[in-house]
């Protein structure tokens, strides 16, 4: 399955993407924060994760490689997990440095949000970042996310304590920003 935007195509990860995804995840530049710093994700870890997903068909998560339409290059990763059907999910995104400032992240985020709200029927999408990651916060705000929770000085990164920031976007907020889309879920639930 793939999803298409103006600048990107989101396609499910494939075995050939594992080295790219591992490098992206291990980069201190492309990670907003990680439970293990410095990141030390190994090839066998990614192989095991891929194998588990390949045969589980778990509908509660989706992992997509962001492909730049014009060049065909892998530009990053976007996914969702902890999907609580018709309620909420958590989104994550990581874009390779060479694609920063090109519109890739915003287009990928918009494609994912349309899929989550319009196809999956979720009520809310959440994301986590650090207070020091102003680019991630600005990107989220462009799509209508608002700060929901701030846990002060709870993450140590780049030699300083930073806030842990949770942002969310509610279904009605999403559809208010996208009048070209009709929210048919309320009618289906009657």
Indicate the DSSP class of residue 61.
-
Give me the CATH number covering residue 55: 3.40.630.30
- The total number of structural domains that make up the chain: 1
Give the integer Cα–Cα distance in Å for 100 and 79: 18
Report pLDDT for 159.
Answer: 79
- Altogether, the residues listed in the chain come to a count of 190
Q: Find the domain containing 88 and state its range.
A: 2-188
Asked if residues 92 and 79 have their Cβ atoms less than 8 Å apart, the reply is yes
As a whole-number percent, the residues of the chain with pLDDT over 90 amount to 58
Q: Shortest CA distance to 13 belongs to which of 23, 21, 5?
A: 21
Give the integer Cα–Cα distance in Å for 99 and 96: 6
**Residue 86 pLDDT level (bands cut at 50, 70, 90):** confident
Residues contacting residue 46 through CB under 8 Å, at least 6 positions apart? 18, 19, 21, 22
Q: Tokens 């080295």 belong to which residue?
A: 19
How do residues 45-55 score in pLDDT, each as one tens digit?
878 877 776 55
Distance of CA 89 to the CA centre of its chain: 10
Chain mean pLDDT for the chain: 88
**Alpha-carbon Rg for the chain in angstroms:** 17
pTM of the model: 0.88
Distance of CA 142 to the CA centre of its chain: 14
């Amino acid at each position: 399955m793939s999803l298409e935007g103006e600048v990107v195509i989101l396609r499910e990860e494939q075995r050939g993407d594992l080295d790219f995804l591992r490098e992206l995840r291990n980069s201190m530049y492309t990670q907003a924060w990680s439970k293990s710093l410095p990141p030390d994700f190994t090839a066998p870890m990614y192989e095991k994760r891929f194998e588990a997903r390949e045969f589980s068909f778990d509908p509660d998560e989706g992992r997509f490689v962001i492909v730049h339409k014009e060049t065909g290059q892998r530009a990053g990763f976007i996914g969702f997990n902890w999907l609580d059907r018709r309620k909420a999910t958590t989104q994550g995104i990581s874009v390779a440095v060479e694609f920063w400032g090109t519109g890739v992240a915003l287009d990928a985020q918009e494609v994912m949000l349309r899929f989550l709200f319009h196809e999956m029927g979720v009520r809310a999408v959440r994301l986590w970042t650090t207070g020091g990651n102003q680019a991630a916060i600005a990107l989220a705000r462009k799509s209508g996310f608002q700060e929901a929770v701030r846990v002060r000085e709870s993450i140590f990164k780049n030699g300083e304590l930073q806030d842990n920031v949770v942002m969310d976007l509610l279904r009605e907020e999403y559809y208010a920003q996208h009048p070209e889309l009709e929210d048919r879920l309320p009618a289906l639930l009657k």
